[in-house]
Every structure is written in C-alpha cells, then in structure tokens.
Amino acid sequence: MKLGSKIHLYSSVLFAVLLIAANTTVYFVFSGMMIDREIGKLAAETEIAAAALRNAAEPAAIRELMRAYVPLEGMLRLVNGDGRGGEYLVTSAGETELSREGAVFFSERREDKLVIGSRNYGFVSLPVIAADGSIVNVQATASMEELMELLGLLRLVLFSVSAAVLVPVVISSGVLGRVLMRPISDMTRTMRRIIGSGEFARLNRKGKSRDELAGMGETFNEMIGLLEESFVRQEQFVSNASHELKTPLTIIESYASLLKRRGADRPELLEESVEAIHSEAVRLKGMTEQLLLLATARRAWQAETEKVDLLPFARQTAATFGKVYEREVAVELRGTGPDRQGKAERMGDAFVDLEDGLSTRTDPDMLKQLLLILLDNARKYSDGPIELRLGSEGERFYMAVRDNGIGIPENELLLVFERFYRVDKARSRDGESTGGAGLGLSLAKELAKALGGELTLASVQGEGTTATIWLPAI
C-alpha cells in the first residue's frame, strides 16, 4: 500500500473512531443524566404522596389521596410488610396493565429503572410508618417512554451527524495524503530522472512554506548540489590524475625504448636515459603517494600527538631542508602577525620569553610533512632566501613560510588549493615548469585540518607569498 493511501486510510479510520467514541460518550452521559432526572422527579412526587398518606387512617381517604397523587402514566400503591399490595393500588387510565405486576416489599428506599414488557418505567419505593404504626412501602411507577423516544431521536441525530461528518473527513484525508505526498513524489520523480539521464536535477520549490516537507526539499537540493560538485570534482580529479600520470609514464617508456633500440650502439645515451627515467620515477612515486594520501579520508589519518617545541622543531626542519636543496632558510621569531610589519629578531635574541612558550601538542611527523611542502613550494617559486617565521597571535601559534618570488594573483589564491591546479610557469624562478603535480597545497590543507589547525595563504604580486600554519596553543 502506498504511503498516501496509508495516510488516507489511517487518518479516516482514526477520525471515525474518535467521532464515534465522542458521540457514544455524549449519548450515554446525556441519557444517564436524563434518566436520573426523571427518577429524581418521580422520587420527589412519591415523597409528597407518602407524607400525605402517612396520616390517613380511613381506607376511603387513602384511596382518594392515592388517586390524587398517582403519576399521569403510571401506578401508585401501598405494600404491607407481608407483600400484600392489592388493596391499595391505583393506576392511570392508560397503564392498567401495571396492576398485574406482583408486589414486593423493600425495607430500604429504592430508586430504579424497570423494563416491563417492552416499555420503560421509573420505579421508586419509600418505606413509611402508617397511621396504625405498621411499616408500609409507598411505591410509584411512571412511564419513561417519552424520554426514551427523545433519546432515540438523539441517537438518530448523532448517527446522522457522524455519517455526514465522515464524508468530508474521508475526502479531506485523501486530499491531505496527496498534499503531504506531493513533495515526496516530486523528489522521487527527480531521483528517477537523475538515474535515467545521469544528469543532476533539483526540485522546483514553489511558495514560501517553512514546514518540515519544505525543509526536506531544501535539504534534498543542497544534497544534490554537493553531489554534483563532488561528481564534477571527481571527474576533474580523474582526468587530471590520468593526464599527470601519463606524462612520466610516457617519458619512462620513451627513454626505455630508446635504450632498447640504441643503447648498445650509443653508450652516451645511457646516462641521459637513466637520469631521465630515475627522475620521472621519483616524481611518479611522490605523486602516487600524495594521491593515495589524499584519497584516504582525513578521519582515517592517525595523528599521534605529543608536546612539540616549535622553535627547535622549525630550526631542525629548516636546516635539513637547506642542506638537501642548498637554499638558505632564515628562522625568525616575531611579536606580531606573520604578514604584518613589526619587530622581528633572528633566533629570538629579543624574544626569549616567547621562545620558551612556543609549545603545542601535535603530530611531529605530519607537521614536518606539512612544513616541508610549504618550504618546497617556496623553493620552486623563488630564488632568494626563504623566511620561516614563528610567533603567536591571540590563542594560536603560527609558522609562516615566506618567499620573495613574483607572488600569486589574488584571483588564484583560493584556486591553488585545488588538486592538480598549478599557476603559470612564469611564476617559477626560471620560467620553466617546476615539475610539480599541483597536489602539494591541497595535501597541506588537509594535513593542517587533521592537526586541528588551519592553513592560510597571502600573496602580493611582485613581493612574494606567505603560507601560514595556525596551531592551537596548549
């Protein structure tokens, strides 16, 4: 059964049950009150009759009083303690059949509703002391047929009203089911269209409703937007990755083929070919490692944190990097932000207190990898000394790598974090391709997030670029 049909059925049945329960309650409460009211009236009339008969001693006087107090449609009689009640019994003109009912003596007051034949009666029995000192019952029986007819009319009215109300309820519940199902049906059709065409589509949102269904539609559109963006990025990633991997493989294959054809005849090609193959193999290995790391969910990266003194850590990393690439890396402590003008002394001569306080908890291996990526980028795109600035600002420490290269255009600052994005080769120090795959900054940004920090980039064309690692202080 479809959800809309379930809503239609369940809401109709629920409302019908509630309506029937409400009308049944109304009927029984009203009928009980009316019956009690009628019996109460009969009891009051019987008490008046009993007060008058209590003092009557003559049989003729008793009969006259009984004729005066007999109910309009009923019977009045006196019943002795031995159960005899035939001597003093009076009925109204239309209720002579009541005289055939046997007399029963009750020692206590009694009020009840009786069914005699097919008719309903109210019955009241009052024990009183007669003039001769004996205890007798003054019993009155009155017809309640008029009340029963009124209650029957009430049942008919409630039934008719219930039937009349259920018709629009069934119709409205069907409309309600369709209204509630419309956004879900639209969503289902949209998803089927996406599956059939392979193209992403969004729901057409009409109106300004802010209910849960409208929220679900907006969330669906947001999800489709994220999926579309992710799909486009994935396609671009696969395309770029295949292109980037194809280049070194082609070079390796070409030089290997050259060696195979002419290596024996031309030994001078051996060194050139081996160097080219080795260089491309190293590049291919680094690119593959970066791709594998980027393909791993960041939550799967196991960061093993420990206390790290940032200044000795930065000096050691800078020294290692400088020896490998024969580039000068100047380590500085600064009292202001990494991109601001302010007092800065090499090796902390004027900042001994700051030097002692630059400690945080982080993963040293991941932080070293992140710092080496930034230093390597600075090496590729500048030819002067590289500055590594350390300091604190607010509740955070920073490590800023600054080069004096040409810089990055403002409209490309955010793009450089995209995978496989590379700026123009004119930014390199020699005007040629640096050989990078465009994965370094993308990986660096992910590493910074994994460490609980942030990576920012600032650049001024003609002056240089500053990449800053922000880390939480202990």
Top pLDDT among 33 and 416 is at 33
Quote the pLDDT of residue 356: 53
On whether both 97 and 221 belong to a single domain, the answer is: no
On whether both 218 and 305 belong to a single domain, the answer is: no
Domain-terminating residue out of 151, 171, 195: 151
Structure tokens at 401: 């790598």
Total domains present in the chain: 3
Return the HEC string of 199-223: CCCCCCCCCCCCCHHHHHHHHHHHH
On whether residue 181 sits in a domain, the answer given is no
What is the rounded average pLDDT of the residues 17-25? Answer: 91
- Nearest Cα neighbor of 137 from 100, 99, 102, 106 is 106
The CA–CA distances, whole Å, from 164 to 16, 159, 176 equal: 11, 9, 19
Boundaries of domain holding 399: 299-472
On whether residue 242 sits in a domain, the answer given is yes
Quote the pLDDT of residue 429: 39
Average pLDDT, the chain: 80
On whether both 264 and 336 belong to a single domain, the answer is: no
214, burial (CB in 10 Å: exposed 0-12, middle 13-18, buried 19+)? middle
Quote the pLDDT of residue 426: 44
On whether residue 144 sits in a domain, the answer given is yes
CA dist 247 and 19 (Å) reads 78
On whether both 374 and 403 belong to a single domain, the answer is: yes
On whether residue 344 sits in a domain, the answer given is yes
Domain-terminating residue out of 295, 318, 341: 295
For residue 362, give the amino acid letter: T
On whether both 252 and 332 belong to a single domain, the answer is: no
Quote the pLDDT of residue 424: 54
CATH code for the domain in which residue 142 is found:
3.30.450.20
pLDDT in tens, 78-137: 888 776 655 688 999 888 888 888 888 888 999 999 998 889 999 999 998 887 778 889
Q: Is the pLDDT of residue 220 over 80?
A: yes
Residue 71: how many other CB atoms lie within 10 Å:
23
Top pLDDT among 427 and 264 is at 264
For residue 197, give the amino acid letter: S
pLDDT band at 349 (very low <50, low <70, confident <90, very high): very low
On whether residue 226 sits in a domain, the answer given is yes
Quote the pLDDT of residue 433: 45
Quote the pLDDT of residue 149: 92
CATH code for the domain in which residue 406 is found:
3.30.565.10
Lowest pLDDT segment from 106-110, 292-296, 395-399: 292-296
63, burial (CB in 10 Å: exposed 0-12, middle 13-18, buried 19+)? middle
On whether both 344 and 371 belong to a single domain, the answer is: yes
For residue 74, give the amino acid letter: G
On whether both 289 and 304 belong to a single domain, the answer is: no
Helix (H/G/I), strand (E/B), else coil: 46: helix
On whether both 227 and 124 belong to a single domain, the answer is: no
Share in percent of the chain as helix, strand, coil (round to 5): 55, 20, 25
Domain-terminating residue out of 272, 295, 318: 295
On whether residue 188 sits in a domain, the answer given is no
For residue 443, give the amino acid letter: L
pTM of the model: 0.47
Residue 186 is inside which H or E element, if any? helix 145-197
